[in-house]
Amino acid sequence: MKDKIINSFNSELKELIDDIVIKDKKIFVTLKAQNPHQAKKLDSLKKECEKNISNFNLFEEINITFTATKKKFSKVIVVSSCKGGVGKSTLSVNLALSLKKIGKKVGLLDGDLYGPSIPKLLNINTKPDVNDKKKIIPISHSGIEVMSIGFLIDQKKPLVWRGPMLQSAILQLINDVAWNYLDYLIIDFPPGTGDTQLTIMQKIQIDHALIVTTPQEIALADTRKGINMFNRFKVPIAGIVENMSYFVCNNCGTKHFLFGENGGEKLSKEFDIKLLGKIPFHSTIARNCDAGTPELIHKNSELSKIYLELSKSLIKQ
């Protein structure tokens, strides 16, 4: 009966459900609110809840109350670039590992529904369990809570979903997952400016966006679209990271700028956004990401220092 009642609610009301108790023709529904002010703003949904339950004609007494809920994520950071192939997922993983290394409680959400990369990067092949409240339990990897659509579907088969299905899926990965209380939730944004990105920005309070680019002009052109998207939705941008910035020759120690030079600086000046760092081409990054062992990257002192500096820059925001 609980499931029938919940299924009669719209998606917005479903997100508010904390608990439902049925006893002796009485029903007690608890809705979530962060504070009394928000509960007052949600009064229309409370009335809608009561109306839906009344339509079942099963209960002599309907009790609907709000309970204060602690914010699950102290800060939500999205790692984004409208351009594919610039290393967003790699940066998301290493940023999460660095934040964990300095003592933060961290979650990592793979926001790319069509091409989830996190399962491969972390070499996770198991499906998550479900708790007694029918919430998906995030998979723990190196002390980080991780969730991806790739854990739930056959990644060899194409995902052919229209906009509404995408919106519902990404919200489920956030609201129907039993996240613990975290200092940071890192969301690996998919490329582009489509339904998934818009849904996340409209439904979740994002504290900061971290923009990733390579020095190439073709990457900068798409990255500009991403920056303008966040500006339009008034999402604060923490800074820019230039990935695949340079390659250091092992023999002579010379820096080679394979994709051009100073692309990150160009974006930084154009949009008045801080350039937080540059990450080089490095065989250690490629090798360990392909092997699903990114934690080994952080045993390289040079690379570990770069990622730690990025993490500390975010903490100061």
The pLDDT tens digits for 250-304 are 778 788 888 888 889 999 999 999 999 999 989 899 999 999 999 999 999 999 9
For position 199, which CATH number holds? 3.40.50.300
User: Distance (Å, rounded) from C-alpha 260 to C-alpha 278?
Assistant: 13
Do 36 and 122 belong together in one domain? no
Q: DSSP labels for the chain?
A: -HHHHHHTS-HHHHHHEEEEEEETTEEEEEEEESSHHHHHHTHHHHHHHHHHHHTT---SEEEEEEEE---SEEEEEEEE-SSTTSSHHHHHHHHHHHHHHTT--EEEEE--SSS--HHHHTT--SPPPB-TTSPBPPEEETTEEEE-GGGTS-TTS-----HHHHHHHHHHHHHTB----EEEEEEEPPSSSSHHHHHHHHHS---EEEEEE-SSHHHHHHHHHHHHHHHHTT--EEEEEE-S--EE-TTT--EE-TT-S-HHHHHHHHHT--EEEE----HHHHHHHHHT-GGGGGGSHHHHHHHHHHHHHHHT-
Do 91 and 47 belong together in one domain? no
Domain endpoint, select from 33, 48, 68: 68
User: Distance (Å, rounded) from C-alpha 26 to C-alpha 219?
Assistant: 59
> What's phi and psi for 271, nearest 5 deg?
-110, 0
Do 136 and 207 belong together in one domain? yes
pLDDT for res 15: 82
Q: The dihedral of CA 271, 272, 276, 281: what is its sign?
A: positive
Do 128 and 178 belong together in one domain? yes
Do 53 and 77 belong together in one domain? no
Question: What residue ranges of the chain have pLDDT lower than 70?
Answer: 155, 158-164
Domain endpoint, select from 48, 68, 88: 68
Do 153 and 300 belong together in one domain? yes
Do 81 and 8 belong together in one domain? no
Do 58 and 132 belong together in one domain? no
Full residue range of the structural domain in which residue 55 is found: 2-68
Q: Which residues of 133-149 are buried (b: 16+ CB within 10 A; e: fewer)?
A: eeebebbebbebbbbbb
Q: Which amino acid, 171?
A: L
Q: What total number of domains does the chain contain?
A: 2
Do 277 and 185 belong together in one domain? yes
For position 63, which CATH number holds? 3.30.300.130
Do 43 and 130 belong together in one domain? no
Do 196 and 294 belong together in one domain? yes
Q: Give residues with Cβ within 8 angstroms of 33, minimum separation 6.
A: 16, 39, 42, 66, 67, 68, 69
Do 9 and 153 belong together in one domain? no
Domain endpoint, select from 43, 68, 93: 68
